[in-house]
Amino acid sequence: MSDSAERVIRKFNPGLLQSDQEIKEQFVVRSQELGLVQEELRANITAPSCQHILVVGPRGSGKTMLLARIAAELRSHGEFADALLPVRFMEESQEIFTLTDFWLETMFHLANEVDQHDAAMARELRETRAALAPRWREQIAEAQARAAVLDAADRLGKRLVVILENLQSLCRDAHDEFGWQLREVLQTEPQIILLASATSRFRALDDVGEPLFEMFRIVGLEPLDTEESSRLWQIVSGKPATLLEVRPLQILTGGNPRLLVIVAEFARHRSLRRLMSELVTLIDEHTEYFRSHLEALAKTERRVYLAVTDLWQPSSASEVAARARVDIRVASTMLGRLVERGAVIRQGRGRKRLYAVAEPLYSMYYKLRRERDEAVVVENLIRFMVACYPVGDPRKLSGPLSAEAAASGTRMSKGLAYRRPGDSEEEIRRYDAVIERFEFADSVDRRRHAAVALSYRSMAQAETGLVDEALNSCRRLADLARSWANDIEEFLGVPWVAWLKWRIAGARALALAVRAEHGASIRQFRAAYAAFPPNLEGTVSEMVRLVSALIGAGVSPPDLLAVFASDNEKSAGLRPLVVALEGHAGNQFRAPREIREIAADIRNRFIEAAERMRAARQGDNPGSFLATHARGQTTPLRCHNR
């Protein structure tokens, strides 16, 4: 993999000036879809009539790469090469308006395909095409062009797999009779297999009165899951990464291969952690990419598209119309066109239809450029993701205590930097060792290490059912907090005493929740939230862990939501956590897709926390789920794949 970072991965024209071997090496996702297409093509080899295939997926989902990979397979695999010949059109077949145009283009690309192996046939096809092209108005020209293509197929002894992209645009722009004429060809000429792509299921596919109704086997391209995103990430960036490290990038790109390639190329000389912090720079550097798509839209289409972008969550046609300040009928028409273009995706049916941007980074691009207040929304999201997913910094995986120790150069217990998974008793003993060593040290920094260890010990004690011990640790910690001056230096970007107060109240809330004193627990959580320093990586991740523990101990999600609602400015930086609680409470909500994905991962943590609590009460699992998550060695946020 060492040379993969130097490879040229084509984001927009996969297969262009690349060998079949290069295409195969770079094809690391969509294997299942490749298998489905191969299966259909294999059946077509001896079938009396052919099954035509349509690959459907939004822009950047990998349609072109998949078709290039299929063409490479047809040329190189003996089973296919002996019976089928790929005839791959350009991605934009903008010169086809009639069936005559279709056959002339087929002749052009067929000549290119056979040139290397049969120069005489290639020359003959080019000469025939040159003679027929000026006669395009004559009805006989279509029949002669068709005959020339089919004769070439007969002489080659192969069926032609015509690979044509953006079928929805071709059907929209071609003459009215073209669709019916193409249907007649596909139904009556077994030598022609059409392998096409489209950005969406357009009307001609599903309307019984349209020419392409039930003509195709549909192969849909879903967003990449975390494992697929990881494979693509590694071949583009040349860097290994865990699934958890890639998960935030999968969320931000929506599992869109093209966007993931853009991000991975940007990250070639950056750590994952630095990449996340510089994501705003990446979006800014690709302004022309985003702007070019906007400029390609007609004025009214662009207005409606920007309304969908600005809403940044699945929205109804009426909501889009109101935001775009256009009539609902105009909005509905434009949305239909945008769906066919692949710029917008449609969910649901009838009046419950909702619309969202197909490429999620567009909404971030728009928010960042619109105004400062809206840019803060994007910045909060990125900050939250950096806090909740491990992105390559080993100190972060060990928690704030070892990070502070590393920053100060203090040599500490190895157990604090590398905690054992699932052994809370050993973990507590190691906290005890740090407390004993540093609690009465002369150095303020070392006494602070003891206080942080005491903070984590109280949480671990509470989770394992040692409630009295946990509350006693909280009292000791409160005494320590009172002994410090308020103007002491900051700890991890937070005033030290303020950090202690938030940790004390949080630990008490958890201990009381474990004791099933949920009313008292919520009161302590309210105090913790009041002291909570928002928008800081360390404190945000700790808040997610605390809330997960409270849910695991049986605290009601609506009660926690009421606390978050008491300070909307703070909760704005915790929106994925709030959305996770809304979902766990069974409430109806709408949010941007990115936030819903993160919330789904957080809800998995809620479930895991409850399972561990239940096992601990039954004596089956002495391990500490809170400590386990604090380590980052299991699943700080378990990936929620589709």
Q: Topology of domain 4-220, per CATH?
A: Rossmann fold (3.40.50)
Distance CA 87, CA 103 (A): 12
Query: Rounded CA gap, 239 and 230, in Å?
Result: 10
User: What SS3 string covers 201-234?
Assistant: CCHHHHCCCCCCCCCEEEEECCCCCHHHHHHHHH
In 3D, which of 630, 169, 243, 247 has the Cα closest to residue 415?
630
Distance of alpha carbon 37 from alpha carbon 91, whole angstroms: 19
Q: How many helices (H) and strands (E) does the chain have?
A: 35, 9
> What CATH fold (topology level) applies to the domain 223-392?
Arc Repressor Mutant, subunit A (1.10.10)
- Mapped onto helix, strand or coil, the DSSP state of residue 563 is helix
What is the model's pLDDT at position 393?
Answer: 46
Give the C-alpha separation, 563 to 571, whole Å.
9
- Which H or E run contains 276? helix 272-277
Ranges of each domain in the chain? 4-220, 223-392, 393-631
Among 293, 259, 291, 262, which Cα is nearest to 361's? 259
Q: How far is the C-alpha of 423 from the C-alpha of 624, rounded, in Å?
A: 7
How far, CA to CA in Å, does 431 sit from each of 201, 219, 406, 451, 633?
Answer: 59, 55, 17, 10, 18
Rounded to an integer, what distance in angstroms lies between the CA atom of residue 363 and that of residue 306?
Answer: 9
User: Is it true that 4-220 and 223-392 share their CATH fold?
Assistant: no
C-alpha–C-alpha distance, residues 137 and 145, integer Å:
13
- Of 450, 451, 475, 472, the C-alpha closest to 461 is 472
The residues of the chain scoring below 70 in pLDDT are 1-17, 91-93, 371-373, 391-411, 413-424, 485-493, 535, 537, 619-642
